Amino acid sequence: SCHQSIAGDSAFSLGMLARFDALISSTPWFYPRLFWEAGFIGQILYLEAEAQGLRGTGIGCYFDDAMHRLLGLGDRCWQDLYHFTVGAALEDSRIQTEPPYRHLNAVLDR
């Protein structure tokens, strides 16, 4: 995950892979949907982590070729699409944390 400590310091991190060549060669329009599905799975992981008192985040920067080598994948049959990590919450002063729907308070307070 591009040497990001968020992945190395987490309880676990994972990569999401998809069957690629066969699907894309027969249905190229399905390409963006692979990422939508990976994002959907990431959203479920995020919500489940929160329900357990943990935090989760998607990781957009990762070394897909290294992941393929680690898994022994030498062709394009499977492709790494998205990474995700779950762990204990650490406040990061670089990131602004707000409660959900905070932007609606101004509208609701009228």
* 3-state SS record for 61-108: CCCHHHHHHHCCCCCCCEEEEEEEEEECCCCCCCCCCCCCCHHHHHHH
Q: Residue-wise over 6-33: b if at least 16 C-beta within 10 A, else e?
A: bbeebeebbbbbbebeebbeeeeeeeee
Verdict on whether the full-model pTM lies above 0.85? no
Amino acid at residue number 33: R
Residue 84 pLDDT grade (very low, low, confident, very high; cuts 50, 70, 90): very high
Contact of 23 with 54, CB cutoff 8 Å: no
pLDDT in tens, 12-37: 989 899 988 888 889 999 999 999 99
pLDDT above 90: percentage of residues in the chain: 32
Q: How far apart are CA 57 and CA 38, in angstroms?
A: 13
Positive/negative CA dihedral, 56, 58, 62, 66: positive
pLDDT of residue 2: 66
Set out the domains of the chain in order of their start, with CATH numbers: 5-108 (3.40.109.10)
Mean pLDDT computed over 47-74: 87
